[in-house]
């Protein structure tokens, strides 16, 4: 895997507040989600990636270099769209995008051309000479994305890019992020507290909680790591209770869910499949489906951050 | 045969040259000049720069016109180049009050500063570009009009005699312009760095600069305080201010307060400039954009 960002026990304090308390993770190519509640340390981490701050302890590398000492060369290859409004309202979208591209090292002529390309790319081609102050929230978010990609960065950092967008605009923005990461070939770090959108767009995820990494890796591997079997019954509620009792007698941990029509069985060894089969045969319950549980990112997040009680009783 | 062509506006990768931080600073410098002077902006943004420029340059044009068109006996009305600053002090004051706030405050208010600091620019290089732009605009009124006036006088054979005299006068005007632009750019940038509201920054500049002149003048002239208190006066509208007093000395004149030591004036102006720059740097050093 090509490593884009690597953090090793990174600590960052702001006065008496510890924003990052030993975060360790590796981000590869593609779109990586940076997930965590407000105050988890996401924005501080973005600042470290951009080289705006120096870690108090630990080490972080971006594209193989220390962002604090990498300086101008490294930052010229990064794009950044902050979560807050960051464009002056009294200049045109084209002017500010061109200017940011120039500041990132592009000659004026190239910056002018690429500003148009980037604004067309995000769907603001026709509006590019309008003042940013006349834009809707969705258009401003698109303009922010345009300025982040206009200079053709290797890595772009997007902080809450769907903030303030309605469902349709959010869908369009996620489509743009997906396109930037997968079709334009620009690696993306998408910082968000909206798990559902990260799940839909990202190839990998880093979950922060109180400044530490509680989970990181490819989306498929994180979601697939749920050792549970879901048995959906076509029976009245007492059927689930019957099955749970039968499984308990056979030595398998399980619990009734969803009002009693579903039983979640802990997958502890290959024998559990046989125990479930035998219990169903013995009880004569009608089965609608049996499937391996797949976790949503929310499940992974809640378990990782220990915010949710375990669903299953442990034997 | 047609000259129609298809323009491909699709996003493409860039493999051209990437210029360094100097290019970034130049871009910020030019963008700031354009912003402050109202270039490529709606008409209302051009009013103040044009008004200030007219106030600064009109006397020079009028005096040159008098020398060129009216009889020699009227020429006594025309001041010497070194006295010209009295005619442009209002324009200088106007520029001092609005240039630095316009250059610095909107970047923090609209939070575009976070984009600059995520670029090859650092806080220091960003500030250098901004303050150089502020000083350049101030030079338009501290250097341009006296220089225009001198050239006009020379063309009408009413200026200093000989190449040496002209060169000496150009040097004096240049040094005076740089002193005034430097001191007031640093001072006004310091006020602008403390707030993200342009009106507040302009008000603070007005209050402190004019207030310092009034207080020191009262202390010295009304209450009999020693002359050195005048070193703390920086009101551009008053002749009795450290930078304008130094300009008088640069032109070889005794100034309004001959008892003040020239070296002390140089030290006062240098201290004011460095203090302004230090306040600005300290303020920007403490701004966190991604926390």
B57 φ/ψ angles, rounded to the nearest 5 degrees: -95, -25
Helix (H) or strand (E) holding A95: helix A93-103
Token reading at A103:
């500041």
* Yes or no, beta carbons of A90 and B41 under 8 Å apart: yes
Report pLDDT for B288: 81
Rg (CA), chain B: 22
Task: Give the pLDDT band of residue A309 (cuts 50, 70, 90).
Answer: very low
Interface test with A, best of B10, B11, B108 (most A CBs within 10 A): B11
Answer yes or no: are the C-beta atoms of B202 and B179 closer than 8 Å.
Answer: no
State whether residue A237 sits within 8 Å of chain B by CB.
no
- Enter the ipTM: 0.88
Residue A220 has pLDDT above 90, yes or no: no
Strands A31-35 and A155-159 come out as unpaired
* C-alpha A199: how far from chain center: 6
Site of tokens 């309202």: A89
For CA atoms A270, A274, A280, A286, give the dihedral sign.
Answer: positive
Q: Is residue B263 one of the residues assigned to a domain?
A: yes
Per-residue pLDDT tens for B33-43?
999 999 888 88
Q: Is residue B12 one of the residues assigned to a domain?
A: no
Instruction: Give me the number of domains chain B comprises.
Output: 1
- When the pLDDT of each residue in chain B is averaged and rounded to a whole number, the result is 89
Would you give the end-to-end CA distance of chain B in angstroms?
A: 60
A215 φ/ψ angles, rounded to the nearest 5 degrees: -160, 145
State whether residue A84 sits within 8 Å of chain B by CB.
yes
Cβ burial A230-239 (10 Å sphere, 16+ → b, else e)? bbbbebeeeb
Q: Around Cβ A188, how many Cβ atoms within 10 Å?
A: 29
pTM: 0.84
Q: Around Cβ B80, how many Cβ atoms within 10 Å?
A: 14
State whether residue A60 sits within 8 Å of chain B by CB.
no
- When the pLDDT of each residue in chain A is averaged and rounded to a whole number, the result is 88
Residue B77 has pLDDT above 80, yes or no: no
Task: Give the pLDDT band of residue A312 (cuts 50, 70, 90).
Answer: very low
Report pLDDT for B229: 87
Q: What is the mean pLDDT of residues B204-219?
A: 88
Site of tokens 């051209």: B16
Q: Is residue B8 one of the residues assigned to a domain?
A: no
Interface test with B, best of A86, A113, A184 (most B CBs within 10 A): A86
- In chain B, % of residues over pLDDT 70: 98
Q: How big is chain B, counted in residues?
A: 291
Task: Give the pLDDT band of residue A306 (cuts 50, 70, 90).
Answer: low
Per-residue pLDDT tens for A8-51?
999 999 888 899 999 999 999 999 999 988 888 999 999 999 99
* Yes or no, beta carbons of B112 and A121 under 8 Å apart: no
Residue A138 has pLDDT above 90, yes or no: yes
Q: Is residue B9 one of the residues assigned to a domain?
A: no
A41-50, A125-134, A227-236, A274-283: which range is least confident on average? A227-236
Helix (H) or strand (E) holding B149: helix B144-155
Closest CA–CA distance from residue B19 to any residue of chain A (Å): 4
Q: Is residue B138 one of the residues assigned to a domain?
A: yes
Burial (CB < 10 A; 0-12, 13-18, 19+), residue B168, is middle
**Chain B hits for A149, Cβ within 8 Å:** 11
Report pLDDT for A315: 39
Q: Is residue B150 one of the residues assigned to a domain?
A: yes
Q: Is residue B291 one of the residues assigned to a domain?
A: no
A8-17, A218-227, A245-254, B101-110: which range is least confident on average? A218-227
Closest CA–CA distance from residue B180 to any residue of chain A (Å): 30
Closest CA–CA distance from residue A303 to any residue of chain B (Å): 27
Report pLDDT for A314: 41
Per-residue pLDDT tens for B79-132?
877 778 888 888 888 888 899 999 999 999 999 999 999 999 999 999 999 999
- Domains in chain A, please, with CATH? 3-220 (3.40.50.300), 225-294 (3.30.70.100)
**Chain B hits for A108, Cβ within 8 Å:** 27
Strand partners, A188: A31, A156
Q: Is residue B24 one of the residues assigned to a domain?
A: yes
Answer yes or no: are the C-beta atoms of B179 and B135 closer than 8 Å.
Answer: no
CA–CA gap between residue B236 and residue B238 (Å, rounded): 5
Per-residue pLDDT tens for A61-97?
999 999 999 888 999 999 999 988 999 999 999 999 9
* Yes or no, beta carbons of B118 and A147 under 8 Å apart: no
CA–CA gap between residue B150 and residue B152 (Å, rounded): 5
Per-residue pLDDT tens for B9-64?
788 899 999 998 999 999 999 999 999 999 888 888 888 888 888 888 998 899 88
Which comes out higher in pLDDT, residue B238 or A51? A51
State whether residue A133 sits within 8 Å of chain B by CB.
no
**Chain A hits for B21, Cβ within 8 Å:** 72
- In chain B, % of residues over pLDDT 90: 49
CA–CA gap between residue A155 and residue A187 (Å, rounded): 5
CA–CA gap between residue A182 and residue B186 (Å, rounded): 48
Residue A1 has pLDDT above 70, yes or no: no
């Amino acid at each position: 895997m090509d490593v884009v960002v690597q953090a090793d026990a990174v600590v960052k304090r702001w006065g008496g507040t510890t924003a990052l308390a030993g975060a360790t993770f590796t981000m590869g190519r593609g779109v990586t989600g940076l997930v965590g509640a407000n105050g988890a340390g996401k924005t501080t981490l973005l600042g470290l990636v951009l080289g705006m701050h120096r870690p108090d302890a630990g080490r972080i590398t971006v594209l193989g270099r220390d962002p604090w000492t990498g300086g101008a060369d490294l930052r010229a290859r990064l794009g950044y769209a902050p979560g807050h409004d960051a464009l002056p309202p009294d200049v045109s979208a084209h002017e500010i995008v061109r200017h940011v591209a120039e500041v990132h090292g592009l000659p004026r002529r190239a910056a002018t051309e690429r500003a148009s390309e980037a604004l067309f790319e995000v769907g603001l081609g026709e509006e590019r000479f309008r003042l940013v102050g006349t834009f809707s929230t969705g258009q401003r978010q698109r303009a922010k994305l345009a300025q982040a990609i206009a200079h053709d960065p290797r890595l772009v950092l997007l902080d809450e890019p769907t903030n303030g967008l309605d469902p349709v605009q959010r869908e369009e923005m996620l489509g743009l992020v997906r396109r930037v990461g997968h079709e334009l070939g620009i690696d993306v770090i998408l910082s968000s507290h909206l798990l559902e959108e990260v799940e839909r767009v990202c190839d990998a995820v880093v979950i922060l909680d109180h400044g530490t990494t509680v989970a990181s890796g490819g989306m498929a591997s994180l979601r697939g790591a749920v050792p549970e079997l879901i048995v959906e019954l076509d029976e009245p509620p007492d059927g689930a209770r019957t099955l749970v009792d039968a499984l308990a007698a056979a030595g398998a941990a399980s619990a009734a869910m969803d009002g009693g029509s579903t039983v979640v069985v802990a997958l502890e060894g290959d024998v559990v499949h046989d125990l479930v089969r035998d219990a169903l045969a013995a009880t004569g319950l009608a089965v609608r489906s049996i499937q391996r549980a797949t976790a949503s990112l929310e499940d992974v997040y809640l378990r990782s951050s220990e915010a949710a009680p375990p669903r299953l009783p442990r034997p | 045969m047609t000259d129609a062509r298809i323009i491909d506006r699709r996003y493409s990768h860039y493999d051209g040259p990437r210029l360094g931080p100097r290019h970034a600073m130049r871009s910020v410098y030019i963008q700031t000049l354009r912003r402050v002077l109202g270039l490529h902006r709606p008409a209302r943004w051009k009013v103040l720069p044009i008004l200030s420029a007219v106030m600064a340059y009109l006397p020079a044009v009028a005096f040159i016109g008098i020398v060129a068109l009216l009889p020699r006996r009227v020429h006594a009305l025309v001041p010497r180049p070194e006295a010209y600053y009295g005619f442009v002090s209002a324009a200088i004051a106007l520029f001092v009050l609005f240039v630095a706030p316009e250059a610095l405050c909107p970047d923090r208010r609209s939070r575009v500063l976070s984009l600059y600091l995520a670029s090859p620019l650092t806080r220091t290089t960003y500030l250098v570009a901004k303050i150089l732009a502020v000083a350049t605009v101030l030079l338009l009124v501290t250097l341009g009009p006296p220089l225009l006036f001198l050239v006009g006088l020379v063309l009408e054979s009413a200026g200093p005699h000989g190449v040496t005299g002209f060169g000496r006068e150009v040097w004096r005007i240049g040094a005076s312009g740089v002193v005034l632009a430097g001191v007031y750019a640093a001072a006004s940038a310091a006020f602008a760095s403390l707030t993200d509201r342009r009106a507040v920054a302009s008000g603070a500049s007005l209050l402190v600069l004019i207030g310092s002149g009034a207080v020191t003048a009262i202390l010295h002239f009304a209450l009999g305080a020693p002359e050195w208190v005048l070193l703390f006066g920086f009101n551009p509208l008053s002749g009795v201010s450290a930078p304008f007093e130094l300009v008088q000395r640069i032109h070889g004149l005794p100034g309004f307060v001959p008892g003040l030591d020239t070296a002390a004036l140089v030290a006062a102006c240098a201290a004011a400039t460095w203090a302004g720059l230090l306040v600005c740097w300290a303020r920007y050093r403490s701004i966190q954009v991604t926390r």
